[in-house]
Chains A and B, each alone.
Chain A
Amino acid sequence: MSLSSSPSGDHLTELVSKAKRGDVDAFQNLYKFFSRKILNYLFRMTGSREESEDLAQDTFIQAYKKLSSLREPLKFQSWLFRIAQNNVYQKHRGRQPLIESIDEHDLTEWSELQQLTTPQMEPEAQALSVELEAVIARAISRLTEKYRTVFVLSAIQRISYQEISGIVNRSLASVKSDIHRARIVVRDKVKEYMSDRH
């Protein structure tokens, strides 16, 4: 169902135009291109698969309803991420940061996920990687929402700084600085884990 690569500019424009006219099949193609990115972004932001699926569903439904307000079809991805980000903010407004939500249960889930994705590694190396990734996941979840957003968009979704600046509606310099700070926080957690281990 999901395609990882983004459509070409012309194809994207055509799909958006058709979807604007109410063509659900065209919108389904847009969903195929962007659902994986949006779902994983939401997963990193919320730390919960179930919640990220609910938010992804809301994001695509809202996108379909508001599609007529999108003036530049080529900015569909940024626009979609902005809707997803607003949904996360609305869902977590007044709620404590996600620190509590990533607990031992999530770490176990992480381990299972990692075992599925890297079956070729040696058990010892695999265990280290699983633990490390759990540490990184926890570090990401402990970032403030402001830092977490730019961190996930840059390091995991590999979106350009310029596009991130448009998504979060902040200056490029501020985004650049926030990304760097977030990377340092995550790096420090990794460093701490590594030094505890040795």
Chain B
Amino acid sequence: MTDTECRAGTNALTALMDNELSREEAFALENHLRDCPSCRQEYESLLYAYQLTCRMPEIEVDPSLWPQIRSKLSSESMIGRWKRFIHGLLFDRPWVPATAALGIVAVVLFLLVGPPPDNPASKEFSAFVQQREILFKRDQGVLFRSGGFNRYEPRRNPFMRQVQYTGQNPFRSRR
């Protein structure tokens, strides 16, 4: 190794003490160190400081560190579990939130436009409608049930007297 190579090879001195050179490179450098006093002196001084550094005492891990981390991980894992659950619902099983949303909408609609309050006037009205339906079915029409509502399609009998409703209860006068 020439003088120029000495300067170029200074990184190699550190690499040699860190076992970062290939066997051939290490062999060549060790041979050079035997013949080059300046490189050898440089290497020895670096090695001395390195060995002192290696002897630096390490600090011990405080046993209370893990319990602190663990308690934070527990809360993190709770949040993480919820995140994973919500993510799974939204992306893996989208029918679950869709069904739940429909259910909520149905409940809200039921609460908004549900059955009328249970009072005497509405009872009387219901009884009137029911009675009218029965008589109408018997006399004139066919009961159709669709969509939760009852409606009549009267049979068109040209010979049958047509009843005209005037807002009064027509059945009461018939009796």
Q: Which residues in A have some Cβ–Cβ distance to B below 8 Å?
A: 1-2, 22, 24, 27-28, 31, 35-36, 39-40, 43, 49, 52-53, 56-57, 60-61, 64-65, 113-114, 116-118, 129, 132-133, 136-137, 140, 154-156, 160-161, 176-177, 179-180, 183-184, 186-187, 190-191
- The answer on a CB contact under 8 Å between A155 and B54 is yes
The distance in angstroms between the C-alpha atoms of A144 and B60, with both chains bound, is 26
Is B46's CB within 8 Å of the partner chain A? yes
Is residue B123 contacting chain A, with contact meaning CB distance below 8 A? no
Besides A64-B73, A190-B52, 4 other A-B contacts (C-beta < 8 A): A36-B58, A154-B18, A155-B53, A183-B50
Is the Cβ of A161 less than 8 Å from the Cβ of B61?
A: no
With beta carbons under 8 angstroms apart, the residue of A24, A133, A140, A183 that contacts B73 is: A24
B61 x A57 contact (CB < 8 A):
no
Report A-chain residues with C-beta under 8 Å of the C-beta of B54.
155-156
Give bound CA distance, A27 to B80, whole Å: 15
Contact B61 A1 (CB under 8 A): yes
Cross-interface CB contact of B69 among A60, A113, A114, cutoff 8 Å: A60
Chain B binding surface, main DSSP class: helix
B53 touches A39 (CB 8 A): no
Given known contacts A27-B73, A53-B65, A61-B69, A176 and B15 CB-to-CB distance under 8 angstroms: yes
B20 beta carbon closer than 8 Å to chain A: yes
CB distance from B39 to the nearest CB of A (A): 13
Q: Does B74 contact A (CB under 8 A)?
A: yes
- Specify which chain A residues have a CB less than 8 angstroms from the CB of B66 in the assembled complex: 1, 28, 31, 35
Please give me the residue from chain B that is nearest to A61 by CB atom: B72
Asked if A57 and B68 make an inter-chain contact with CB atoms under 8 angstroms apart, the answer reads yes
> Which B residues between 45 and 67 are near A, CB-CB below 8 angstroms?
45-46, 48-50, 52-63, 65-66
**Taking the complex as formed, is B131 at the interface, i.e. its CB lies under 8 A from any CB of chain A?**
no
Per-residue CB contact flags for chain B residues 1-45 toward chain A (1 = under 8 Å, else 0) read 000000000110111001010000000000000000000000001
A-B contact pairs, 12 of them (CB 8 A): A1-B66, A2-B61, A36-B58, A36-B61, A40-B58, A114-B57, A133-B57, A160-B20, A176-B15, A179-B14, A186-B53, A191-B49
Taking A24-B73, A136-B52, A190-B49 as contacts, is the C-beta distance between A1 and B20 under 8 angstroms?
Answer: no
Q: B65 contacts A186, CB within 8 Å?
A: no
Tell me if B93 is interfacial: C-beta within 8 Å of chain A.
no
> In the complex, A136→B55 CA distance in Å?
11
Q: Please state if A161 and B56 are interface contacts (CB–CB under 8 Å).
A: no
B80 partner residues in chain A, CB cutoff 8 A: 22, 65
Contact partner, B57, options A24, A113, A191, Cβ 8 Å = A113
Cross-chain contact B11 with A177 (CB below 8 angstroms): yes
- Report the bound CA distance from A5 to B122 in whole Å: 84
**Contact residues in B for A191 (Cβ distance below 8 Å):** 45, 49
Complex interface: chain B residues within 8 A of A186 (CB): 49, 53
Q: Which of A56, A137, A190 makes the CB contact (< 8 A) with B48?
A: A190
Contact of A2 among B10, B60, B69, B81 (CB under 8 A): B60
Asked if B70 is at the interface (CB within 8 A of a chain A CB), the reply is yes
Say whether A187 contacts B18, CB under 8 Å: no
B169 at the interface (CB under 8 A from A): no
